[in-house]
Amino acid sequence: MSQAKSGNPKSKKIRIGTRKSPLALWQAQKAEEKLKEFGYETEIIPISSEGDLRLSQPIYELGITGVFTKTLDIALINQEVDVAVHSLKDVPTQLADGLHLAACLPRGSYQDILVYKSEDWAQKEKRIIATGSLRRKAFWLHQFPQDELTDLRGNVQLRIQKLLDNNWDGAIFAYAGLERSEILQSLEKKALKYQVLKDMISAPSQGIVGIVAREDLDLSALTHQSTHQAALAERAFLRRLEGGCTAPIGALAKVKGKEMHFQGAILSLGGEQKVEVEEKFEFSEATQAGTEMAEKALAKGAGDIVEQIKRYI
């Protein structure tokens, strides 16, 4: 069993910091269950984040990285909590000094889905699709450049209600978010349907619950190894391309033993340009593998797209 590097006993209560949304609390409870399996006492401490409080602005206008994690990082550094539980796709690739990615829970679905009102959405010449993600917007416009994209913010319950209340044809969600919030199962009652977006490469670490801690706390025994390796590779790809958590960058690593199947892509904000890499290979170190895949993307012109994104954001 793991214990803190500083020698703190297992009896020490682990204070779990989390955002207050229903999905964030679900994630915190899953982390709590895993910590209890390893003999830790726990307490969940909900904290409001800047991203939750400022729902009227698109995510990218709040700052490209860490909008949902900064408040919890401060609480960690100030020792108000011992760990912070996040949807790992929201966590910047460069953590604050003194913090580390301590563990990853087994990955859920990494896929994006379109939730829509009517089966005729695909036959329309022009659709209105809602999403707060620059990545989802860029992938959608790459395939359907004639469509109108509108911003969508809030927790998953609020976003579903906004879809019902507006004249939108559909909205894009993470499958895992709707499933974990038990909304996926109730869509039919709301006269909504969904389909998986197979051509959309997920955000780096999508579907992964990550536990961030101060560096003196070793929780490596809790981590799901193949998920953690995938997260390291995807986050290294994102970091090398210098993209923030909201940039139009997708990355997906499927790890089995020492074999990795990696897909990555970066798109211009309007979806006109796309650089994509895909490879199946043996790897020895996940972070290095992700960095090397980013180098392949840069060799194909990804750097020019990055510069365009920086000028806009």
Q: Could you report the per-residue pLDDT of 86-95, keeping only the tens digit for each?
A: 999 989 898 8
Q: Is 25 helix (H, G, I), strand (E, B) or coil?
A: helix
Q: Of 263, 251, 241, which Cα lies nearest the Cα of 307?
A: 241
Q: What integer is the mean pLDDT of 140-144?
A: 98
In single-letter form, the type of residue at position 248 comes to: P
Q: CA angle 57-174-294, nearest 5°?
A: 85
CA distances from 187 to 114, 115, 258 (A): 12, 9, 39
Report the run of H or E that residue 115 belongs to, with start and end.
Answer: strand 112-116
Alpha-carbon span 229 to 107, nearest angstrom:
11
Domains along the chain with CATH numbers: 1-105+208-222 (3.40.190.10), 112-196 (3.40.190.10), 224-308 (3.30.160.40)
Catalytic residue among 52, 82, 90, 112: 90
278-311 residue pLDDT tens: 999 999 999 999 999 999 999 999 999 998 888 8
Residue 90 designated active-site: yes
Q: b vs e for 111-120, b when ≥16 Cβ sit within 10 Å of the residue's Cβ?
A: bbbbbbbeee
CA distances from 226 to 79, 138, 155, 270, 288 (A): 30, 29, 29, 34, 15
54-102 residue pLDDT tens: 434 443 343 434 445 788 988 998 899 999 999 999 898 988 889 999 9
pLDDT at 192: 97
Q: Which of 57-71, 115-129, 249-263, 293-307 has the lowest mean pLDDT?
A: 57-71
Quote the DSSP letter at residue 186: G
Q: Which of 24-28, 252-256, 308-312 has the lowest mean pLDDT?
A: 308-312
